[in-house]
């Protein structure tokens, strides 16, 4: 999948079919072909303690690492992120998470380590609504990497990318006890409104006035 996802979009469908015939990928593997992988969005991030990470757009071949991260989440992290709606992550769900069109849907992952030791330790994403000016956003950081500034960094990166794509506002549904998430939004310096409905805080963050 790594090679297919970085091939020219015109050739990806043929390559995927060839890989399916040879049983190199799942028979129901999907691949969105709208836009080439935006390699220019890959950036290094150095933490205050000197550890080096990479923040980059998600790719279809990230599936095993996303799966590894999901099954490492504490119950609390899963609950705060998915509000109790996602208990397992089979391939048909995972591939939807890992295949984005880098246009209406964007996801950035944070990776630590290299080669066979690389792991994904956080992911943030947005998906535009039909009006194309509003996007739903959410993110999650692996438990042992929380409170080190990654959530703040991912939010800033996604807000910049969305702003450049003409998105005017983000919506996020946050549980009221999620003080970390609410703090990130409120201290972003952006205009933020909250409405609480049926136990969920709907936050609207304006990227452009
Ligand atoms: C919420 C979340 C994304 C924040 O990411 P993070 O990398 O831990 O955030 P940061 O390190 O940038 O922290 C931002 C601020 O929130 C605080 N914070 C983070 N997690 C917190 C928590 N569980 N409780 C209280 N404060 C918290 C941090 O201490 C920091 O404040 P400070 O600078 O005053 O110390 C992360 O904790 C997470 O994945 N939580 C579970 C999933 C989730 O809630 N997703 C959001 C659904 S929309």
Digit-coded pLDDT (tens) for 29-44: 777 656 789 999 999 9
pLDDT at residue 34 in the model = 60
Residue 17 lies in domain: 1-31
Same domain, 101 and 135: yes
CA of 168 to the centre of ligand 1 (A): 24
Same domain, 92 and 191: yes
pLDDT of residue 75 exceeding 70, the answer is yes
151 lines ligand 1 (CB under 6 A): yes
Burial 157-189 (b: 16+ CB within 10 A, else e): bbbebbeebebebbebebbeebeebbebbeebe
Same domain, 115 and 13: no
13 lines ligand 1 (CB under 6 A): no
The atom of ligand 1 lying closest to the CA of 147 is 11
- Mean pLDDT over 107-131 rounds to 94
- Mean pLDDT over 189-195 rounds to 96
Same domain, 158 and 89: yes
Same domain, 107 and 13: no
- State how many domains the chain has: 2
Distance CA 194, CA 200 (A): 10
User: Above pLDDT 70, what percent of the chain?
Assistant: 98
Q: Whose CA is nearest to atom 35 of ligand 1?
A: 147
pLDDT at residue 209 in the model = 67
137 lines ligand 1 (CB under 6 A): no
pLDDT at residue 33 in the model = 59
Same domain, 16 and 108: no
Handedness of CA 123, 160, 148, 112 (dihedral sign): positive
Average of per-residue pLDDT values in the chain? 90
**Domain with 109 in it: what CATH number?**
3.40.630.30
Same domain, 73 and 120: yes
pLDDT of residue 10 exceeding 80, the answer is no
Q: Whose CA is nearest to atom 16 of ligand 1?
A: 180
């Amino acid at each position: 999948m790594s090679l297919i996802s970085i091939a020219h979009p015109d050739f990806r469908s043929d390559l995927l079919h060839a890989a399916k015939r040879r049983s190199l990928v799942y028979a129901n593997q999907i691949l969105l072909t709208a836009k080439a992988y935006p390699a220019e969005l890959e950036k290094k991030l150095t933490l205050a303690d000197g550890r080096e990470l990479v923040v980059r757009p998600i790719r279809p071949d990230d599936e095993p690492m996303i799966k590894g991260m999901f099954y490492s989440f504490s119950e609390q992290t899963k609950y705060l992120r998915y509000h109790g709606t996602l208990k397992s992550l089979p391939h048909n769900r995972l591939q939807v998470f890992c295949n984005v069109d880098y246009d209406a849907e964007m996801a950035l992952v944070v990776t630590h380590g290299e080669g066979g030791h690389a792991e994904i330790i956080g992911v943030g994403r947005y998906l535009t609504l039909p009006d194309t000016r509003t996007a739903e956003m959410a993110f999650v950081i692996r438990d042992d990497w929380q409170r080190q500034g990654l959530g703040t960094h991912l939010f800033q990166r996604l807000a910049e990318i969305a702003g450049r794509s003409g998105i005017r506002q983000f919506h996020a549904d946050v549980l009221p006890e999620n003080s970390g998430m609410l703090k990130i939004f409120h201290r972003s310096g952006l205009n933020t409104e909250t409405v609480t409905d049926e136990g969920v805080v709907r936050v609207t963050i304006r990227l452009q006035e």
